[in-house]
Amino acid sequence: MAKKKTPETATKKVNNPNVMGLRPEVLEQPITQTLELNYMPYAMSVIVSRAIPEIDGFKPSHRKLLYTMYQMKLLGGGRTKSANIVGQTMKLNPHGDAAIYDTMVRLSRGYGALLHPLVDSKGNFGKVYSRDMAWAAPRYTEAKLDAITAEFFRDIDQDAVDFVDNYDGSMQEPSLLPTTFPNVLVSANQGIAVGMASNLCGFNLGEVCDTAIACLNNPDHDIMTTLKAPDFPTGGELLYDAAALSEVYKTGRGSFKVRAKWRYVKAENLIEIYEIPYTTTAEAIIDKVAELIKAGKVREIADMRDETDLSGLKLTIDLKRGSDPDKLMARLFKATPLMDSFSCNFNILIAGMPRVMGVGEILEEWTAWRMDGVRRRTYFAMKKKQEKLHLLKGLKRILLDIDRAIKIIRDTEEDAEVIPNLMIGFGIDQTQAEYVADIRLRNINKEYILKRTQEVDALEEEIADLQDVINSPKRIKKIIVGELEDVKKKFAAPRRTDIVYEHEAEEILESAPEVPDYPVHLFLSREGYLKKITPLSLRMSGEQKYKEGDGPAHQWEASNKDELIIFTDKQQCYKTTLNTFDDTKASVLGDYLPSKLGMDADEKVVWACLPGDYSGHLLFFFENGKAARVELSAYQTQTRRKKLTGAYSDKSPLVCAFLLREDMELAVRSTEGRCLVFHTAVLNPKSTRATQGVSVMTLKPKYKLESVQPLTDTPIVNAARYRARSLPIAGALLKDVDRGEEQMTLL
């Protein structure tokens, strides 16, 4: 028998032939070794070489594609077939043609996923706002580099970035593209790696350039004053939340809401949606609206169709007579992807290490990287001029005696001795001697040599200036600022996503229709099932249905607009409104509250109440004999929070709770059989929800408080005998004659 595997080991079959019916040899490998040798290299490869963008704003697949197109002379030239580009890219990107073509589609102008497309496309490249619109095969489409990519390749041949071998070592490719503007903030990017992900939204190019310039001039610049908000190629309206955006700008994490743009055509009684959030598609919106119509939750829509054409996106909603378009759209924003959230995760590779950074940190890293690129570019130019200066200085040496140089060359019998003889004759090095020896015969006149040697002074000044640039961070920043201003002037475009500020958004929300108000009956079971039944349905229904072992716990008469507060055994309370529950019948189990409200694992419902206008008090009784009276207003929130922690004290298990609209007498019993009657007016209310309360009944160590009931609901006969004069008190043993319970007799 094969040895049983354990969680600590993994088995590995050896590829030996199965000779004479023998089983393959099985070797055991510790799971830690499997993770270290097999899984971790794969995970790191995905993180570093595939899914996470770097400071230039590109993933490796993007960079390889764009550099291949640059090498194919597709910047400024004519278009070529996409299939040709895909094939050439395979020299750098060891993937299938479909994966490479998908990458090019996303960068294309036709697809529209970027604010500033990098590929100038011709043909059907699909649309980012359509889930089902497929792009044409690469043999049918054509492409070239867009003009803005010139800003990525301006310094590519000037040693501004490192070059590395491709996957088979046959050619070189850049490790990064020397972008002259923070493309990482302009081009939206999304990637899912192993154990981490990245999701960068795009920003307006003009705003990004202004912000980068301001940060270069003033490190303490307030970014929110120049970088207003993210911008998306699909347009829409961004609901401006200063606190949320500030969090995104500072930490690189957070979210904000974007909603569709629409217009009402009164003559035809229809709504046209012409811009949608970047995170959704037209098909997803139509499917959700159709679902709402089938469920009967939206009754104002007669028909909805997709009228997208060459002029752009258009979703049309035909309205029924008398429908209010503003109220309908307010409801659709809440219930469909017409309003969606964009979750930010600014995870970027910096020197091969993933880092989640805010906008300020990203600009700092980009500035440092760009300054190094400009410094390297300047050093490259300086070295070229120094080499030229060196040659001209050698040429200047022979200016004194050209005839002698000619004589040396003529008198040298062997060609190999020409260079050494010139070096000896004029005291110049080999490079200078070779340059002199290669001068054409027609250029040995004095005029030519004088003109060339006059360049020496100018070159020395230029070299000194370049050296000063290399040594001066201030001058390098000035160069970067000039490049940013140039990029903004050439490529900046108006914002596509409008910003809707808080006061404008509130006006829209106020136009939402009111929740229908009608009487309902609520039934809550012991296990947390809630049923909302209309009076008519209740009259027509039979017996209430419960799960086996379950039964009724509470019931109320309420209104569909009322709020419900549910308390759990984890000292938490959940707030909801009854209109979020569907009307049902007595014959069904109802909604299971832990699932409906998204409670924590193993969390159970212990009590609930209808707070109404939040006047009155809540009274909590605990097993240790204490009672806490808390003002109901302590559970009222202004921010529509759905969950409150620390809803009551966790020092002792909760026995029961009451909603007090007015004071009353309560009968308290313990497991010892003692009873205590007291008036709730003696308990002082607290504003702190988690207060431990005050002792009401003193208990012996092995006993605990068992039950609490309003005195009017108990059959106790002689209540005066158990009424307390002061608290706390042990209470009196409840006599049989005072129980008020009829004794069973045998006939």
SS3 category, 448: helix
- Residue 20, Cβ density class (10 Å: 0-12 exposed, 13-18 middle, ≥19 buried): exposed
SS3 category, 615: coil
- The enclosing H or E element of 210 equals helix 205-217
Residue 78 has, within 13 A of its CA and on its CB side, a CA count of 2
Evaluate the CA torsion angle 627, 632, 637, 643 in order and state its sign: positive
Evaluate the CA torsion angle 162, 163, 164, 167 in order and state its sign: positive
In angstroms, rounded to a whole number, what is the distance separating the alpha carbons of residues 695 and 704? 12
In angstroms, rounded to a whole number, what is the distance separating the alpha carbons of residues 357 and 363? 10
Residue found under tokens 């694992």 = 601
SS3 category, 19: helix
List the structure tokens of 217.
């001039």
Q: Are 732 and 689 in contact (CB under 8 A)?
A: no
Main-chain dihedrals φ then ψ at residue 414, nearest 5 degrees: -100, 140
Q: Are 657 and 553 in contact (CB under 8 A)?
A: no
566: left (phi over 0), alpha (psi -120 to 50) or beta: beta
Residue 142 has, within 13 A of its CA and on its CB side, a CA count of 6
399: left (phi over 0), alpha (psi -120 to 50) or beta: alpha
One-letter amino acid for residue 569 of the chain:
D
Q: Are 568 and 608 in contact (CB under 8 A)?
A: no
List the structure tokens of 169.
């070592």
One-letter amino acid for residue 6 of the chain:
T
In angstroms, rounded to a whole number, what is the distance separating the alpha carbons of residues 191 and 354? 12
Q: Are 584 and 544 in contact (CB under 8 A)?
A: no
SS3 category, 449: helix
In angstroms, rounded to a whole number, what is the distance separating the alpha carbons of residues 299 and 645? 38
Would residue 140 show up in a list of annotated catalytic residues for this protein? Answer: yes
In angstroms, rounded to a whole number, what is the distance separating the alpha carbons of residues 319 and 509? 20
Q: Are 691 and 638 in contact (CB under 8 A)?
A: no
Q: Which residue in 343, 338, 342, 313 sits closest to 328, CA to CA? A: 338
Q: Which residue in 597, 637, 640 sits closest to 614, CA to CA? A: 637
Among candidate residues 42, 140, 518, 614, the one labeled active-site is 140
In angstroms, rounded to a whole number, what is the distance separating the alpha carbons of residues 431 and 433? 5
Main-chain dihedrals φ then ψ at residue 417, nearest 5 degrees: -90, -5
Sequence length of the chain is: 747
Q: Which residue in 621, 718, 701 sits closest to 669, CA to CA? A: 621
Pairing mode of beta strands 315-319, 270-275: antiparallel
Residues noted as catalytic: 140
